[in-house]
Structure 1
Amino acid sequence: MESFFPTQRRPNSALAIALFALIAVAGLYYVKWSPYYHRAFVAADTHSIGHSILTGAQASPPAASWHAALDYASAYAKAIWQALVLGLLLGSAVQTLLPAHWVARVLGSTGLRSVAAGGLLALPGMMCTCCAAPVVVGLRARQASPGAAVAFWLGNSVLNPATLVFMGFVLGWHWTALRLALGALLVFGGGWLVNRHATSAERSAALAQLDAFAEAASHQGNRFARWLKLLAQMALRLVPEYVVLVLLLGAARAWLFPHVGPEVDDALGWIVAFAIAGTLFVIPTAGEVPIVQAMLSFGVAAGPAAALLMTLPPISVPSLAMTARALGVRVQALLVLMVVATGVVGGLAAVALHF
């Protein structure tokens, strides 16, 4: 199997590795594993995990305004801020606390094995697309292959085990089956397709960059100081644009979803429109479940609802902005096309299966 990277060992700090493991395990337990475990019982008992963040208790999104922008940004921030902090901690720690070639050994090859590893490593993370984005940036800085990074990114939200359980209790297990089948195809097939589009020049550049990075790291000072410095740099670079884009999308909800009612039927035009809107919009982890539940209760047909179920979690305008440098325009364009196509296929499948 062809690989971007050599496999020689580099000196490593046991303390730095232990700190990385502590942040990952303790952080995920506090932010994700424990809360979602308890929420699963709520979903089973009440068949709900809360109101739709898109519309609240209303039958349609509010008109575009700064008030709508601030309301959405506030609700969104309350839902994700802890996970975003954890994502920044892990994204910077991957680049400074782990030995230079560790990520490349596991995720650096151009074949399906690295893609599978990226997708499987995502399962414990269970992060939304924006909170996982800093980790994707860190993985690419350590020269994970584009396909493995994409599989990790998409797998966090699309194959989130907690979300799949919530979905089964709230929407029905047939919705979970649809999401799991198409989600696995998007995560692993999409990652493989991205790697297939990597050129030999990109492979050579990745190898040279990794060697240069490892050599530079061996001559730099305290890795804990470098970690804190990089953490501050990532926060200052990623968070401001993220906040601005979330505000704009919050204000534009009424434009992205102008109709939420019985008029939204199973016509192909509606399925495509909702697939595109879902790809652009940003939601917290599992936010698609109450959104789809609300859409169905307002009379939206199963086809457009299924398109949203597949496209709301994987990517969004803010997360694309956060990963633009790490993945590049060509990979991101392919990614957008794959997500929209998956949404359309999901919508048509829901219609054909009489959801």
Structure 2
Amino acid sequence: MVTSRDSITPPDSRWATAAGVLVTVAVGVAGLTWAKWVPYLHKAFDAARTQHWPGSDILAVGGVRAGDAPSWHAATTFFDSYVGVIWPALLVALLLSACVQAFVPRSLLPKLMNRDTLVGSAATGGAASMPSMMCTCCSAPVAATLRNSGVNHAAAVAYWLGNPLLNPAVLVFLALVAPWQWTVTRAVIGVIVVVGGAALVARIARDCEDAAPSVPVPLTDQRDPGSAALRFGKALLRLCVVLVPEYLVMVLVIGAARGWLLVLIDPAHRSLLLVVVAAVVGTLMVIPTAGEIPILQGLALLGVSSGVLGALLITLPAVSLPGMVMVARSFGWKTTWGTAVMVMVAGLAGAAMLSLL
């Protein structure tokens, strides 16, 4: 007689699995409500009432101007301002990642997110990213955990890119305080990047036989509920020890060098080369969620061309050098750099579209 797998699964194990998934969902919902949903709802109402974005240009914090040499002052003022904004989302991302590693069976996420086609997987990853609404660095621990859990490259990359590019709150903010062309460009190019771009990167990674995750997540054993807290503690400690220090160091580096990076975007020049430079610089920069809005508004007032604004509209939020460092072990460097190059090309597409509109 053939016995189904469900019929031989111990009831206690099924209950433990369900409890672990519920705990993970509860942590995600509670954390995102605190760090993202409620604050963004208030910001949206304020923006609708005032037609003004209250945020300031984080790249100019500390009085740093284009051409300033790297300094400890530039590094620390940027670090303090950036971390002061993103720490709630980063905390939620670390807790959620640890919950996934400790409580969710490793086979569940691939079943939910891996599809028969790369485009289908990318679409699933992009859709899953929209409720979390994180910046590229805060979404990096979750994206790395998805990849380590067996989620394919297309879905994991799409989740990573979809958080900043398809963030529904930022699209609302843009619609309220910026020209309508910015919102349309961000939405159209964002969908193309998250779905088509992630699928393309995954295809290249597969053709190049990209390396499997170097730090696989242990299979969870839901039959031993007493070890759940220990698994969670180990997972959280590993994330904090491995990912957070290198992330914070890279934020300091970007902050220190921002004066040199800003000088590359000179509003006095209007050439295709400047648009390409803007796409590269925007890909390396790290900003908090919606941090591109005051930056682009300030550049627009200085007379920067639509091409440069379109390139930065896509590349500034999409990825960053610290975010790439965080996901590289799980994605593999070929996939990571392939994603960065694809985002740069998408920035050029954003520049062309915004210039035409």
Q: Do they superpose with TM above 0.5?
A: yes
Q: Which residue pairs with 2:26 in the alignment? A: 22
Q: Which residue pairs with 1:297 in the alignment? A: 301
The superposition leaves residues 267-319 of structure 1 with CA deviations (integer Å, 9 ceiling, x where unpaired) of: 11110001000000100011011110111112211111111110011111100
**Structure 1 residue 109: deviation in Å?**
3.6
Q: Does 1:90 align with 2:99?
A: no
CA, structure 1 residues 110+312, in 2 after alignment: closer, same or farther (shift >3 Å)? farther
Q: Does 1:349 align with 2:356?
A: no
**Structure 1 residue 216: deviation in Å?**
7.2
Aligned equivalent of 1:79, options 80, 85, 98: 85
CA distance in 1, matches of 2:185, 2:323: 24
Which has the higher mean CA deviation after the structures are superposed, 14-23 or 176-185? Answer: 14-23
Which has the higher mean CA deviation after the structures are superposed, 305-314 or 9-18? Answer: 9-18
Q: Which residue pairs with 2:54 in the alignment? A: 49
State whether residues 265 and 278 of structure 2, in contact with CA within 8 Å, keep that contact through their aligned partners in structure 1. Answer: no
Aligned equivalent of 1:225, options 221, 230, 235: 230
What does 1:308-347 correspond to in 2, within 5 Å?
A: 308-347=312-351
CA, structure 1 residues 279+196, in 2 after alignment: closer, same or farther (shift >3 Å)? same
CA distance in 1, matches of 2:19, 2:224: 18
Equivalent pairs counted in the alignment come to 342
1:234 counterpart letter in structure 2 = L
Q: Does 1:192 align with 2:163?
A: no
Q: Does 1:67 align with 2:106?
A: no
Q: Which residue pairs with 1:149 in the alignment? A: 156
Aligned equivalent of 1:258, options 251, 256, 263: 263
CA distance in 1, matches of 2:207, 2:283: 30
The superposition leaves residues 83-107 of structure 1 with CA deviations (integer Å, 9 ceiling, x where unpaired) of: 1111111112112211221101012
CA distance in 2, matches of 1:215, 1:20: 14
Q: Which residue pairs with 2:286 in the alignment? A: 282
Which sections of structure 1, spanning at least 5 residues, go unmatched?
1-7
State whether residues 210 and 334 of structure 2, in contact with CA within 8 Å, keep that contact through their aligned partners in structure 1. Answer: no
2:349 counterpart letter in structure 1 = V
CA distance in 2, matches of 1:218, 1:287: 45
Which has the higher mean CA deviation after the structures are superposed, 86-95 or 174-183? Answer: 86-95
The superposition leaves residues 168-199 of structure 1 with CA deviations (integer Å, 9 ceiling, x where unpaired) of: 12212221000000000000001211232343
**Structure 1 residue 141: deviation in Å?**
1.3
1:69 counterpart letter in structure 2 = A
**Structure 1 residue 229: deviation in Å?**
1.1
Aligned equivalent of 1:105, options 98, 102, 111: 111
CA distance in 1, matches of 2:39, 2:290: 12
State whether residues 288 and 313 of structure 1, in contact with CA within 8 Å, keep that contact through their aligned partners in structure 2. Answer: yes
The superposition leaves residues 144-189 of structure 1 with CA deviations (integer Å, 9 ceiling, x where unpaired) of: 0011000000000000001111111221222100000000000000
CA distance in 2, matches of 1:306, 1:242: 27
Q: Which residue pairs with 2:134 in the alignment? A: 127
Which has the higher mean CA deviation after the structures are superposed, 30-39 or 217-226? Answer: 217-226
CA distance in 2, matches of 1:342, 1:274: 12
CA distance in 2, matches of 1:137, 1:104: 13
State whether residues 58 and 78 of structure 2, in contact with CA within 8 Å, keep that contact through their aligned partners in structure 1. Answer: yes
CA distance in 2, matches of 1:183, 1:177: 10
Which segments of structure 1 move beyond 4 Å, counting only runs of 4 or more?
8-12, 56-59, 200-206, 215-221
